Amino acid sequence: MIEMTLREIADVVGGTLHDVPDPAVTVTGAVEFDSRRVDSGDLFLAMPGEHADGHDFAAGAVAAGAVAVLAARPVGVPAIVVEPLPVTGSRALVLAHDRDGSGAAVLAALAKLARVSIDRLATGGLTVIGVTGSSGKTSTKDLLASVLAPLGPVVAPPGSLNNELGYPWTVLRADAGTRFLVLEMSARGVGHIAALTETAPPAIGVVLNVGTAHLGEFGSREAIARAKGELVEALPPSGIAILNADDPNVAAMASRTRARVVTVGQSGAAGVRATGVVLDEAARARFTLHANGSETEIRLAVHGEHQVGNALSAAAVALECGADLDSVAAALSGARIVSAHRMDVRTRADGVTVVNDSYNANPDSVRAALKALVSMARAEGSEGDGGPGRRSWAVLGEMAELGEESVVEHDRIGRLAVRLDVDRLIVVGSGRPARALHQGAVMEGSWGEESVLVPDIEAAIAVLDNELAAGDVVLVKASNSAGLWAVAQHLTAASEPDAEAVRRPQVPPSGTEAAV
């Protein structure tokens, strides 16, 4: 963040100083809500959690180097104290364990601090880019960081820090040297994205798709479209809206913005377009990118045909920010998804390929992942020792927050697995959604033991340990709450990845990360 004194911060957030010997002391580091990550010069946020209250860790954070604490009550160490607030609206979703309004107060103060920081940085040439959509936000955010890096320093959130806590936290990672700030934007209701844009207004807005993620909370796809479109409504006339021409709900958002519209997709009408898409043995796409009257060949290093649309959006942003087509192609060809548990493909020494896409799941993303799985298994000359015709396994858990459509959507996924000719399906869970997924597969065809319903992760691992063979391909996917990343980690720990495996930092999922 920009350097500010404790007095300045208190004035910005409407707080009072407690136990502060010198109000002129300056915060020179970051803002951090995890006391284990505090470093010298930081400001620590005292946030309530499910099992602990950040106020209880204030002294430890200061001992670790924090200049002060942003809190809702005095904590015995230097602090900026704000008055508790009612926990309402989208904050209630982030602060499920905030019983006294302390977290709501700190969160509101954090948003004010982020807004002042971004307003000051905007005068120095910072470009703010917002990304939203029902799926693909985090992958696109990672691709954007790669294609913008040659143009200047980029700040983007690790993982999916995209809600009322993660959004301003990311904003405050930017400093005077940052040229591009990439922000992921989630919503669990109409009005949530609009509120985020008040904290840090984007100059460029990217809308990827309108799907059925969190349909139970929104009520309809139309409501989801209204919520996602709040991003382009917030753009200034000088801004740029990057819209997916292949999704009618997104394309229709062109009428909702004052900004200049750039369309992307495989549609002939798209301004930034992909043609000739083909997948290699690891489901990595190759295609021709057309933009501004020129074209170039793209070979993605990320997995799944659905990444084509994400790459087109990233390319469109980079081109608007001054990149040329050749540099975009080079950056996309080397880009990796660095966020944990998202299409993380690793091949073991015995040729078993594990596709860890376990961070999140909704009907659209599961369909995309299943298609990628089948593409890998059927490809000639595929990675590993199995060669063409490798057995495909899908280990699937519950897709959360689908409301009344949950059973129907899980049934559809089970049936799709059969239609795609996935060889083995392991459904993990004991609730109605898991039973519907398994039953859908059984009812779709003559499957018997091809689909198995197991109650928990340990049972799924037992089936895999007993039946997995060299050269098989395994997809692991579910909503984060299912914890199926443990299955993928078990499988990759069973054998050291070979030299071709994709290695990425594994960051434990955070309870503060929103998923829409």
HEC assignment per residue over 287-355: EEEEECCEEEEEEEEEECCCHHHHHHHHHHHHHHCCCCHHHHHHHHHHCCCCCCCCCEEEEECCCCEEE
Per-residue model confidence (pLDDT) at position 512: 36
Same domain, 327 and 404: no
Per-residue model confidence (pLDDT) at position 504: 33
Rounded average pLDDT over 179-197: 93
The DSSP bridge pattern shows strands 204-207 and 260-265 to be unpaired
Out of 210-219, 251-260, 319-328, least confident range: 210-219
Note whether residue 305 is domain-resident: yes
Q: Which helix (H) or strand (E) holds 31?
A: strand 31-32
Q: Label residue 500 exposed, middle or buried (CB < 10 Å: 0-12, 13-18, 19+).
A: exposed
Same domain, 89 and 144: no
Rounded average pLDDT over 126-142: 94
Per-residue model confidence (pLDDT) at position 87: 63
Note whether residue 45 is domain-resident: yes
Rounded average pLDDT over 122-140: 93
Q: 390, 471 in Cβ contact below 8 A?
A: yes
Check pLDDT > 80 for residue 193. Answer: yes
Per-residue model confidence (pLDDT) at position 206: 98
Check pLDDT > 80 for residue 495. Answer: no
Check pLDDT > 50 for residue 515. Answer: no
CATH number at residue 349: 3.90.190.20
Note whether residue 88 is domain-resident: yes
- Give the dihedral of Cα atoms 380, 385, 389, 395; nearest 10 deg: -120
Domain residue limits at 317: 124-334
Check pLDDT > 60 for residue 94. Answer: no
Out of 42-51, 169-178, 239-248, 470-479, least confident range: 42-51
pLDDT tens sequence across 460-491:
999 999 999 999 999 999 988 899 999 999 99
Rounded average pLDDT over 183-211: 94
Check pLDDT > 90 for residue 299. Answer: yes
HEC assignment per residue over 423-466: CEEEEECCCHHHHHHHHHHHHHCCCCCCEEEECCHHHHHHHHHH
Out of 49-63, 90-104, 380-394, 497-511, least confident range: 497-511
Same domain, 185 and 262: yes
Q: List phi, psi (to 5°) of 239.
A: -85, 180
Dist CA 199 CA 185 (whole Å): 12
Same domain, 79 and 172: no
CATH number at residue 77: 3.40.1390.10
Last residue of a domain, one of 311, 334, 357: 334
In which band, very low, low, confident or very high, does the pLDDT at 508 lie, cut at 50, 70 and 90? very low
Rounded average pLDDT over 188-198: 92
Dist CA 495 CA 342 (whole Å): 20
Last residue of a domain, one of 106, 141, 167: 106
Per-residue model confidence (pLDDT) at position 97: 63
